Structure 1
Amino acid sequence: MAKSENYVTYYETGSTDPYYNLAFEQYVMEHCKEGDILMLWQNDNTIVVGQNQNTQAEINQEFVREHGIHVVRRMTGGGAVYHDLGNLNYSFITDAGDTKLLSMERFTKPVVEALRALGLDAASSGRNDIVVSGKKVSGTAQRIHDGRVLHHGTLLFRSDPEMVAGALNADPEKFRTKSAKSVRARIGNIADFLQEVGHGDMDLETFWKYLKDALSGSLMVESELTKEDLQAVRKLRDEKYDTWEWVFGHTIDFTYHNKARWDGGSLEVQVNVARGGEIQEIRFYGDFLSLTPLTELEQALSGVRFRKEDVKAVLDQYAMNELFGPITEEEVLETMFPGA
């Protein structure tokens, strides 16, 4: 890959297999440690759940079985999304800098500008959406690793709204707070908006090429992984992303459960508590925009008394914005110990 920060290194996965694509993305993030990287890629007929979500609760299991939909878990936070070949995904990988100053807008801005250059009324919206004429066309998420940040998002070009709506179990509270009636009512397709502004002849292949040029600029270097790299990607695919343990196994039997919705997203906590009052096992779920995995925190809380002051003492040792995004420590504690 190019070593100059003036260049953008561009990768394509050459696949529509969601398990392979997410393994490819993770491998590039963890092994290409210099410069700016852009990826454009597609998944076919897939639900992608956020790193911190309870998969069984997020998907319409009967609909998924009937339509042969792949289900995969990504390594970033946020909510579940449906991908088909009418959707185009993009990934930016670059140096993170000060994580306290890391914002979604840093990465959504060039996408918004690319859409606006086509004559579309595009804007960033809410925590992590891009909208055109008020309709959601993109959802985004981020992850930091070893000083690098991955920011990726969807772009609904000509996706099937019936599949988007049918595959997911929408949280009614989410739609109440956003004053929306349904998934179908909230989303839009970029192709429809292009038709309205006189670009109706632009198909997805042309849009792909346009976006590639718009997001990378004139100093783009197209690159490929080596045979050895690709073998490692396939190994990661088979041993992580296409396993029941990764996709569905992040749940526990629980003796305490609570769920709350905050400005920063939904947060659900499940806890196994021993007879002596210590936490045996704990899981946090939600569509909050975490930057790092919660595994270390969940392990640190194991053995701690299930009492607000004891849990707070552990939480105080962590950068909460990296773990829970905009959800604060006070809101985490309120979810775990409401009214305490």
Structure 2
Amino acid sequence: MLYYFWKRLTIFKEVVYIIYIDLSSGDQYLRNPSISESLSTYFITDPKFKDTVFHFSHSSRTSVVVGVNQDVYSEVNLDYIQAHQITLSRRAAGGGAVYIDPGNLTYAFVDNDNGTDYLNFKKYATPVIRVLKQLGVDAEMTGRNDLTVNGMKFSGMSSLKIGNRFSCGGTIMLDVNLNAASQSLTPPKTKLASKGIKSVHSRVTNIRQFFKPEFQDISIDQLKGLILKEVFQVKDLSKIPTYKMTEEDWQGVKRIADNSFKTKKWIMGKKMNDDYFHTNHYNGIGTIEMSFSVSGGLINHAKIFGDFNKANGNLSEIETQLTGTPYNPKSLLECFKNSHLNQNIGAVTPEELTDLMINKDYNTKK
């Protein structure tokens, strides 16, 4: 029983039981990005984990990880990552594509939803922000899920919900190869424009340069230690309740990865050859992309992509509703009103998605 390891904390203004998951026994497994992307699913679904867990992930290899609903063919420079032997993987959580190398630290909470915590990125980013401020970084949360300093992003957060449990975590760019990140990622121009920038490189930053002089040489492990002390409200790391992954646990994670996250179909998806590919960025929601074709005045195919964080939405419900719908504003508006947009994508309106499909200014397939 894990119960005896849990610590009772009030760090989040309510009583929680939380445990740190030590992944050090799985170095040989974690060389594969699909294993890292399967960890949260394991902690969400394995019955031995019933309350809040916290863990880190620090890769020794370079990879690009896309969100569950993203189109790799528009978000990733596939030629570049192949030429530079950068692994491509897809997570089950929402959010956008991220470039990960040994200069990046990833952290995640897995928690139970009390009706307000799912997609509450600020709550789970707060311990990290507090630590970074101690180190001299004027970190803040901006937008729906970004951590920034001086207007530049150093962390993106994502979330995954299965049943009543969910994960929420993000990356911390300490010494990431920014040039390689810029070359690897190709986000839509509408997303960059929404940030007032022209390229990935001008938007992101490493945070080491913002540390106080006495912290300039801090290591990844030292940063992890500071975050752990903040999360668990202790001064001594030995006081942190810890569960060390067993071989049985790693085999459980591997089964999840093998069944879903390692397949080419899961990672690459299907390349669309539709007539139109419309994209727009919506504040508080993210980028929504509509790939669709029209024949005889009717939509005969539709596929939705994007970096919105509602990873468990039923996009096929919307796509099925769209198929066969007349391509005109009145019919599209009625279709979207019957497609449960809030549950399936987020707080986007039928009017906004109708405009997205009708307005030719959003077409990126010229």
TM-score, normalization: structure 1?
Answer: 0.87
Match of 1:335, SS state, is: helix
Does the CA-based 8 Å contact 2:22-2:245 persist in structure 1? no
Structure 1: distance between partners of 2:274 and 2:79: 25
Q: 1:136 to 1:270 in 2, by over 3 A?
A: same
Structure 2: distance between partners of 1:66 and 1:204: 28
Structure 1: distance between partners of 2:163 and 2:218: 39
Alignment pair present for 1:58 and 2:58: no
* 2:115 aligned residue (84, 89, 98): 98
2:208 maps to amino acid: A
Bigger shift: residues 110-119 or 81-90 = 110-119
* 1:270 aligned residue (291, 308, 311): 291
Q: Which residue of 2 aligns with 1:329?
A: 350
Bigger shift: residues 123-132 or 101-110 = 101-110
* 2:38 aligned residue (7, 17, 23): 23
* 1:290 aligned residue (287, 294, 310): 310
Q: 1:31 to 1:317 in 2, by over 3 A?
A: farther
Q: Which residue of 2 aligns with 1:320?
A: 341
Q: 1:230 to 1:301 in 2, by over 3 A?
A: farther
Alignment pair present for 1:9 and 2:19: yes
Structure 1: distance between partners of 2:265 and 2:170: 25
Structure 2: distance between partners of 1:316 and 1:226: 48
Question: How far apart are 1:313 and its partner, in Å?
Answer: 5.3
Give per-residue Cα distances to partners, 1:128-182, cap 9 Å, x unaligned: 1111233311011122221122112110011111111111114333333322243
Does the CA-based 8 Å contact 2:310-2:345 persist in structure 1? yes
* Structure 1: tracts of 5 or more residues without a match: none
Question: How far apart are 1:187 and its partner, in Å?
Answer: 1.8
The alignment's C-alpha RMSD in Å is: 2.8
Q: Which residue of 2 aligns with 1:139?
A: 156
Alignment pair present for 1:154 and 2:171: yes
Q: 1:321 to 1:154 in 2, by over 3 A?
A: farther
Structure 2: distance between partners of 1:186 and 1:201: 24
1:271 maps to amino acid: F
1:23 maps to amino acid: S
Match of 2:303, SS state, is: strand
Bigger shift: residues 114-123 or 149-158 = 114-123
Q: 1:64 to 1:212 in 2, by over 3 A?
A: same
Match of 1:143, SS state, is: strand
Question: How far apart are 1:278 and its partner, in Å?
Answer: 6.0
Q: Which residue of 2 aligns with 1:238?
A: 258
Alignment pair present for 1:198 and 2:211: no
Identical-residue share of aligned pairs (%): 25
Question: How far apart are 1:265 and its partner, in Å?
Answer: 2.3
Alignment pair present for 1:175 and 2:192: yes
Structure 2: distance between partners of 1:327 and 1:197: 45
Q: Which residue of 2 aligns with 1:257?
A: 277
Question: How far apart are 1:318 and its partner, in Å?
Answer: 5.6
Structure 2: distance between partners of 1:299 and 1:87: 36
Does the CA-based 8 Å contact 1:47-1:80 persist in structure 2? yes
Does the CA-based 8 Å contact 2:55-2:108 persist in structure 1? yes
TM-score, normalization: structure 2?
Answer: 0.81
Give per-residue Cα distances to partners, 1:198-218, cap 9 Å, x unaligned: 212311111112112222334
1:7 maps to amino acid: Y
Alignment pair present for 1:211 and 2:221: no
- How many residues align structurally? 337
Give per-residue Cα distances to partners, 1:98-132, cap 9 Å, x unaligned: 25985321222222122112232111112211112
Alignment pair present for 1:129 and 2:124: no
Does the CA-based 8 Å contact 1:254-1:270 persist in structure 2? yes
Q: 1:131 to 1:197 in 2, by over 3 A?
A: farther
Question: How far apart are 1:295 and its partner, in Å?
Answer: 4.3
Does the CA-based 8 Å contact 2:74-2:188 persist in structure 1? no
1:163 maps to amino acid: A
Structure 1: distance between partners of 2:357 and 2:305: 12
Q: Which residue of 1 aligns with 2:364?
A: none
Does the CA-based 8 Å contact 1:301-1:311 persist in structure 2? no
2:227 maps to amino acid: L
Match of 2:43, SS state, is: helix
2:268 maps to amino acid: F
Structure 2: distance between partners of 1:127 and 1:193: 23
* Structure 2: tracts of 5 or more residues without a match: 9-14, 361-366
